[in-house]
Structure 1
Amino acid sequence: MNRLKTVLMILAGCLAARAGMAQEPDFSVEQIPGRLLESADAVTRYSHTQIMVNDPRNMTWRVRKAITVLNPAGEDYGVAHVFYDKSRKIAELKAGIYNASGRMVRAVKEKEFTDQSAISDISIYEDTRVKYYRPGVREYPYTVFYEYEIRSSNTHYFPEWFPARSPLVSVQDAVYEVICSNGFQVRVKEMHISPGEVADNAGGARVYRWKVNDLPARGEEPFAPPSRNYLPHVMVAPVDFEYEGMKGSFSNWEQYGQWVYERLLSGRDEVPEATAAKITQLLSGAKDDREKVARVYQYVQEKNRYVSVQVGIGGLQPMQAEDVDRLSYGDCKGLVNYTKALLSVAGIPSIYTEVAAGDEQRSYFPEFASFLQGNHIILCVPLQGDTVWLECTSKEAPFNYLGTFTAGRNVLLITPEGGKVTRTPYCENSGSRREATFTMLENGEAAVEVETDFTGALYYDRYELSHANPRQADELLKKLYPLNNLYVEDWKVSHQKEETPLTKEKLLLRVRDFGSISGGRLFLPLNPLNRLERVPVHLPQRRSAVFIAESYEEKDVFEFKLPETYKAEYLPENREITKPFGKFSLSAALEGEVLVYKRVLRLNKGTYPPESYQEVIDFFQEVQQADYQKAVLLKP
């Protein structure tokens, strides 16, 4: 009898809970506090993420979210979506669209969601798909409510929780719960958020809970650090887990790296004997190991191409090296593993390396080990007195070149002894060096020859132009150099992949009415090719530190050949501005029939106090004013 009462009580509680969940929510925009509308493109009205782990082979995710989209800029935040794969099955998925008054205008069933692959050119995890629904509503504001449940037999990965997805999203109510039963243990890393609550429920499960209420949108700020450096978020990782039937345990990077090396990489680096012989012949006569690595890298680039590959254990395991060799394609994991295998033929050890690729310079946390802090694989080749880094998915990348996508961040080396956190180098010598000759005609027209070198982080700055046809190139160049009456007579982009890679752009241009003539005076724009177009906006209150991700320098030297002898009626004064975050200088001098203009703009990598932001504005205002100055030349 007592057992029956217990069952009935549990059933009643479940029904009451379901009834509460079924109540029509109030998504009226009037219910949003005014402070949550400031600086926001969207508002998270309600977000409840619950992860339940019953044992190392049984995990359930339940998510319920409501996002109010305030304007067209917030549309992407209102896309209902769920990621899944072969081991993460969608048990439930539905959505609803509500108007500004909170009335439902459309119920969306799972079959109306678009289903597609979620992989990318850099994806470390090639088995993921996404179902999404884009409302297509054009009357603002509107609210998207969606909920889903996912069940998984893998417990290696817990999603990183961000109550606010961007500084342009405010949060009315958000909750994250992790419920661990049967002694399942997790580790937690909390960033920019109050410590969560930890308690044991009546059933003996341990419950971790974080809650965020009434969080205003921070708004975007120029030169702000990456948003994850200040937005509240939580990371959770298991101590013991199961992945595709394989048990694992780790609490640090050393243990994690051992697991990856032994379970995912070991035994997958064999190449056919014929290929090994070919590599041995290829490396004959190389003067040192560095040259051998360069030859192997070029061989891999010429032979293979990037293709997403959804094979291996859960998509995390690379293809066999012999399969890449036979098929001449692979994903980032397979191409790195293949290059590593070829270097082994030459007796050169190299290291499979996880990295968080992207413009935000995400780094691995040295003190907190977890799955999928990265999204890409690169290859590290330690040499005597040097370390070479290889981006194996690109057929065009220079040898030992990491662009802003993978440079300057903590990465994880997967070695036989375990995982080791190290750092990729920053892009050095980033910038542009531009020389131009303007041959002026009597009518103010100019024939212009321009030669520009782009180095470091700017190596790919003319990538689109280098692959353009003549019509496309003409359009691109007129956007890059927005001069009135510009005619592109010839252009060429070439790449030099030597020790210091650079991209060279050569242009032959003609500009009608370049210099205006009036009353015997020639008015000559001194910097028509590289003007600073925008100045950072003024902010009533600067919240973020000033962040400059990479050092960068522009050097311009322009010579203006005049049609006859002029004397200078007005030339800008030589100027030099030096600040902790940058430097600017210019000079202009008339030397016979040639006017020589020189300009240098440098930004220094670093993080600077928020109060320096006004100084940054003043600096760029002076640069912009200087860039738009004209020389006034007078006929004698």
Structure 2
Amino acid sequence: MTFCRATTVASLLFLFLVCGTLSGQSPYSVSLINPEMTKNAKAVVRFSEQKLTISSPSSASLEVTKAVTIMNETGRLESIYFGIDDKFITYHFDNLVIFDKEGKKVKDFGSFHLEPLITFAGSTLYSDVRYKSLDPDYRTYPFTAEISYTVDLRGFFYLPDWVIGEDYNISTEKARLTVETPAEYKLCFLEQNMPSEVTTGTDKGKSTYEWKVENDKAREKEPYALDIEQLCPTVFLAPGNFEIAKWRGSSATWRDFGKFLADLNQGRNILPANVTEKIKELSAQNPDTTALIRKLYALMQEKTRYVSVQIGIGGWQPIEAQEVEEKSYGDCKALSNYMKALLDAAGIKSHYAVIMAGEDAPDLRHSFPSNQFNHAILCVPGSPDTIWLECTSQRIPFNYLGSFTDDRFALLITDDGGRLVRTRKYGSEENRLTRKAIVTIDQTGNGKISVKTEYSSYFYDQMLPVLLSDFEDQKRTLSESVSIPGLTLVGFKISQPDKEKPLICEELNITTKGYASRMSDRMILPLNLMNKVSKLPALNTGRDSEVLLRREKLMIDTVIYKLPAGYTLSSTLNPVNLDSPFGSYDTNIEFSGNELIYIRRQMIRKGRFKVDDYPALIDYNNRVATADMVKIVLKRE
């Protein structure tokens, strides 16, 4: 490729200002923005210039200058400066200037000194991270914020990615990334959705890489869409060779990156002698390997609790197992390493593993070795089944990962370096919601309802926070989540009958006014009590994202209606049977004596579908939604 020497931040800003001056208006005048760029936009990036200079495997700096027009209150966050300082990163605030809609300067914070703030959030025990922020507190929309700052990196093993429009409803007029390295330095990068490839060159012992994006329109959040990071123009960066706190490593292969993490963990799995002897005794008492692993996992859960530790390289290196034994706490790295130490003492092979956690985490870019992880778990390889252990929860069942880390790539840290493996996938028979309700309707249409629901696997994950909350929070959550007209929650019980299984049971006692509507000698009764699908909006414009259904799920509802004396069916309903690539749905109605039984079964299939498949999903979803609104007419004899 041909090389065009990158201009400096100052020259880009100069060109931007000249264009505005030639038009006779301030370059930050909102009237200069192409209307296509303001469509659906809460903010418009007028220009963004980033220059990353890598001086050595342990030293780099990033210069950032950008101007963002804030269109309304929802985009105001884009006008706020955020910075972070720790042992390896220092942010230097340069300036923040506010311009009104005509492009006139109204605020200038150039000489403003930012005091670092120490904040320990949630379960963080201690941290050396210091936060800096500056809110211009300007709310006369639209306005433009010009922000400039630099970042010094003193040791690193990952680099900041360049993401255009990394949030919904943000458009970008002009953006450029320049990376400068020593000529012999290996920079790893992966381009995604870029309008053009990198321009590279070498001059005076320096290698330069340059990317540009122009007129990238705002994206709206779409139902069943990919993660926005997968939709935006993006350049992922990684250092070929790196050094942090005198630890050296490479991102050339997953094996190499795993070796770096193995070096960080080396020698940190030593337990006190008395603990090792205790484990040997347990081993003798539990000859079955799986039973012994289960026992040691239970001991770890009983003894430890999760806290976050972010000191120096401690954000990536686990606390020593002996310290966890003494203090009975640790973060995900420390607790996974401690559990590994317990298994080591029992002579059971296991592997520390890093993973990108989160229910909606994006897929790992397996062709691009780099740090794509935010969590640590433990893998115990076995035949026929591998055991996975989540070590940060005192409640999660043995060998259960759940939606936090299921069905995705993890990097096993083995004696031979890193190796990618996929965690367990939970199918529709495991991700299951089963509900049985008995509804007694009186002569006025009011009802008394008792409901028993079992939440398994994925649904267990959704209910676990409710189970662990206090009585008043449980009552409020349940009252708000059950959408039955005229509802009064009389009583409830939430439990996990077997701590070894990801299953939560919920029992509800409800009264409702006017559930069935009376019309003369007839009564209109809705059949679907609690599990209704909403219709998807019609597709008025083109869709950007492929369709993603992340998990298989199965929901079965059985509702038994006890009808008031003297009423019988006035109308009949045929069963509904729908099937599609996205899932299946069927209902059945039975009538006997004064009982009407409604059974609904909905299965969602996992899959990634083409953009052109979305209208078919709308059609299927809306047919389900229509079927869910079914009502039956009862007539008084």
Normalising by the residue count of structure 1, what TM-score does the alignment of the two structures yield? 0.91
Distance 1:369-1:464 versus aligned 2 partners, 3 A rule: closer
Aligned to 2:319: 319
Distance 1:584-1:237 versus aligned 2 partners, 3 A rule: same
1:250-399 maps to which residues of 2 (within 5 A)? 250-262=251-263, 264-282=264-282, 285-286=285-286, 288-311=288-311, 313=313, 315-370=315-370, 372-399=371-398
* Cα distance between partner residues in 2 of 1:536 and 1:299: 51
* Cα distance between partner residues in 2 of 1:85 and 1:312: 7
Deviates more, 1:145-154 or 1:21-30: 21-30
Aligned to 1:549: 550
What SS does the aligned partner of 1:395 have? Answer: coil
Identity score, percent: 31
1:480-499 maps to which residues of 2 (within 5 A)? 480-496=481-497
Deviates more, 1:493-502 or 1:65-74: 493-502
Aligned to 1:415: 414
**Is 1:311–1:317's contact at 8 Å kept on the other side of the alignment?**
no
**Is 2:258–2:418's contact at 8 Å kept on the other side of the alignment?**
yes
C-alpha deviation, 1:281, in angstroms: 4.2
**Is 1:188–1:234's contact at 8 Å kept on the other side of the alignment?**
yes
What SS does the aligned partner of 1:242 have? Answer: strand
What SS does the aligned partner of 1:386 have? Answer: coil
Aligned to 1:577: 578
* Cα distance between partner residues in 2 of 1:437 and 1:37: 53
Distance 1:258-1:132 versus aligned 2 partners, 3 A rule: same
CA deviation string 1:385-407 (max 9, x = no partner): 11111111112222222222211
**Is 2:224–2:549's contact at 8 Å kept on the other side of the alignment?**
yes
* Cα distance between partner residues in 1 of 2:123 and 2:425: 22
CA deviation string 1:331-353 (max 9, x = no partner): 11111111111111111111111
* Cα distance between partner residues in 1 of 2:565 and 2:556: 28
| C-alpha RMSD over aligned residues | 2.7
Say if 2:189 is the partner of 1:196: no
Deviates more, 1:361-370 or 1:219-228: 361-370
**Is 1:49–1:63's contact at 8 Å kept on the other side of the alignment?**
yes
**Is 2:534–2:622's contact at 8 Å kept on the other side of the alignment?**
no
What SS does the aligned partner of 2:299 have? Answer: helix
What SS does the aligned partner of 1:479 have? Answer: helix
C-alpha deviation, 1:315, in angstroms: 2.8
1:7-46 maps to which residues of 2 (within 5 A)? 20=14, 26-46=27-47
Distance 1:265-1:165 versus aligned 2 partners, 3 A rule: same
Distance 1:132-1:570 versus aligned 2 partners, 3 A rule: farther
C-alpha deviation, 1:247, in angstroms: 3.2
Aligned to 2:180: 179
**Is 2:538–2:618's contact at 8 Å kept on the other side of the alignment?**
yes
What SS does the aligned partner of 1:59 have? Answer: strand
Aligned to 2:138: 137
C-alpha deviation, 1:216, in angstroms: 0.9
What SS does the aligned partner of 1:618 have? Answer: helix
C-alpha deviation, 1:129, in angstroms: 4.2
CA deviation string 1:238-288 (max 9, x = no partner): 2222211233344111112112212x0010001112222333445554362
Counterpart AA for 1:43: V
Distance 1:19-1:627 versus aligned 2 partners, 3 A rule: closer
What SS does the aligned partner of 2:597 have? Answer: strand
Q: Which runs of 5 or more structure 1 residues have no equivalent in the other structure? A: 1-12
Aligned to 1:540: 541
Deviates more, 1:166-175 or 1:359-368: 359-368
* Cα distance between partner residues in 2 of 1:295 and 1:532: 42
Aligned to 2:441: 440
Q: How many corresponding residue pairs?
A: 620
* Cα distance between partner residues in 2 of 1:342 and 1:15: 54
What SS does the aligned partner of 1:225 have? Answer: coil
C-alpha deviation, 1:118, in angstroms: 8.5
Aligned to 1:159: 160
Distance 1:16-1:398 versus aligned 2 partners, 3 A rule: closer
**Is 2:166–2:229's contact at 8 Å kept on the other side of the alignment?**
no
Distance 1:288-1:565 versus aligned 2 partners, 3 A rule: farther
* Cα distance between partner residues in 1 of 2:423 and 2:130: 30
1:89-238 maps to which residues of 2 (within 5 A)? 89-108=90-109, 111-112=113-114, 115-117=117-119, 128-181=129-182, 183-193=184-194, 194-201=196-203, 203-238=204-239
**Is 1:460–1:503's contact at 8 Å kept on the other side of the alignment?**
no
What SS does the aligned partner of 2:361 have? Answer: coil
Deviates more, 1:595-604 or 1:393-402: 393-402
Aligned to 2:600: 599
Deviates more, 1:350-359 or 1:532-541: 532-541
**Is 1:225–1:547's contact at 8 Å kept on the other side of the alignment?**
yes
Normalising by the residue count of structure 2, what TM-score does the alignment of the two structures yield? 0.91
* Cα distance between partner residues in 2 of 1:58 and 1:521: 80
* Cα distance between partner residues in 1 of 2:434 and 2:635: 31
